C-alpha cells in the first residue's frame, strides 16, 4: 500500500526501545507506520490485515528470522521485507535472500542509511548491508564460487544492462535476476553493482 507520505510500514522488534526508535526514524522520513509489534508471532496476521508496503523485522525471540519470513510469505500478501540482523554468515545471508527478503540490514545501521536502504528495497533492489558481510572471509575464494549463471549475470552487468534487460536476455524473471545479483554482491563483498564490477575486475573475472 502506498500513500502520499510514502509506503506504509509495519515494524516488529522484541526490544521496546528499538521499536520506538524505528517508528520515530521512519515517521520522520515520511513513512506511515501503521503497526508496531513486540510479539513477532502475531506479525503474519497483522500484515495480512493491514497489507503494508514494507515490513521491518528485528529480533524474534520465539522464532528465527527465517521462520518468521516463511510465515509471512505463507500467510500475508506480497510485501517488501527488511530484516535487522545482529550479524550472520554469508551462507545465512544467501539463505535468507533465497526466501525473497528484499533487505538484510545490520542492527547497528545509521538512521539515514536505514531510510536509504528501505527506499532502495521498495524500488525493487535487493539490499545487503556491507556491515553484515564477514570481512574475515577470503573474497577471492568466495568469488570463485560464483555459479555459471551468476557469471553470466555479472558479464551482462558489465555491459551496462539493466536488471530488466538481463532478465529478458536470459529468459528469467526480474526477481530471479535480483536474487542472482544479491548472491553476486554477497560473494564479492560488495554493496552495489559498481562495487561488484570493480572487485570482479580486480579479481580477474572481467576482462
What number of residues does the chain have? 207
Task: Supply the pLDDT for residue 60.
Answer: 77
pLDDT grade for 145, boundaries at 50, 70 and 90: confident
CA separation for the pair 13, 38 (Å, rounded): 5
pLDDT in tens, 66-116: 888 999 988 877 789 999 987 766 667 777 877 888 898 988 899 999 999
Task: Supply the pLDDT for residue 204.
Answer: 72
Q: Which of 11-25, 80-94, 123-137 has the highest mean pLDDT?
A: 11-25
What's the predicted TM-score (pTM) here? 0.65
| Percent of the chain whose predicted confidence (pLDDT) is above 90 | 37
Which ranges in the chain belong to alpha helices (H)? 16-28, 43-50, 65-75, 90-98, 111-122, 139-143, 148-158, 163-170, 174-188, 193-202
Phi and psi for 35 in degrees, rounded to 5?
-160, 140
Task: Supply the pLDDT for residue 107.
Answer: 87
Mean pLDDT (whole number) for 33-61: 89
Mean pLDDT (whole number) for 120-146: 71
pLDDT grade for 3, boundaries at 50, 70 and 90: very low
Give residues with Cβ within 8 angstroms of 10, minimum separation 6: 33, 34, 35, 36, 37, 43, 46, 47, 50, 52, 54, 55, 56
Task: Supply the pLDDT for residue 4.
Answer: 47
Average pLDDT, the chain: 84
Residue 47: pLDDT above 70?
yes
Q: Are 55 and 34 in contact (CB under 8 A)?
A: no
pLDDT in tens, 115-127: 999 999 998 888 8
Q: Are 12 and 38 in contact (CB under 8 A)?
A: yes
Domain made up of 139-202: CATH architecture: Orthogonal Bundle (1.10)
Query: Where along the chain do the CATH 1.10.10.10 domains lie?
Result: 139-202
From 62-71, 142-151, 158-167, the region with the lowest mean pLDDT = 142-151
Q: Say which CATH topology domain 2-132 has.
A: Rossmann fold (3.40.50)
Q: Are 197 and 158 in contact (CB under 8 A)?
A: yes
Query: Where along the chain do the CATH 3.40.50.2300 domains lie?
Result: 2-132
Which ranges in 31-80 belong to alpha helices (H)? 43-50, 65-75
Mean pLDDT (whole number) for 42-63: 88
Task: Supply the pLDDT for residue 83.
Answer: 94
Amino acid at each position: 500500500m502506498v500513500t502520499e507520505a510514502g509506503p506504509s510500514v509495519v515494524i516488529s522488534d522484541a526490544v521496546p526501545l528499538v521499536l520506538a526508535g524505528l517508528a520515530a526514524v521512519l515517521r520522520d522520513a515520511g513513512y506511515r507506520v501503521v503497526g508496531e509489534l513486540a510479539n513477532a508471532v502475531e506479525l503474519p496476521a497483522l500484515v495480512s490485515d493491514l497489507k503494508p508496503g514494507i515490513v521491518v523485522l528485528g529480533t524474534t525471540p520465539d522464532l528465527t528470522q527465517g521462520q518468521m519470513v516463511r510465515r509471512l510469505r505463507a500467510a500475508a500478501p506480497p510485501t517488501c521485507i527488511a530484516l535487522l540482523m545482529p550479524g550472520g554468515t554469508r551462507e545465512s545471508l544467501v539463505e535468507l535472500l533465497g526466501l525473497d527478503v528484499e533487505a538484510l540490514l545490520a542492527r547497528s545501521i545509521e538512521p539515514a542509511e536505514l531510510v536509504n536502504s528501505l527506499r532502495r528495497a521498495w524500488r525493487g533492489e535487493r539490499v545487503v548491508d556491507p556491515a553484515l558481510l564477514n570481512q574475515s572471509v577470503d573474497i577471492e575464494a568466495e568469488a570463485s564460487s560464483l555459479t555459471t549463471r551468476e557469471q553470466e549475470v555479472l558479464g551482462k552487468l558489465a555491459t551496462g544492462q539493466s536488471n530488466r534487460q538481463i532478465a529478458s536476455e536470459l529468459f528469467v524473471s526480474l526477481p530471479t535476476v535480483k536474487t542472482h545479483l544479491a548472491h553476486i554482491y554477497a560473494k564479492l563483498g560488495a554493496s552495489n553493482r559498481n562495487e561488484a564490477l570493480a572487485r570482479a575486475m580486480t579479481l580477474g573475472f572481467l576482462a
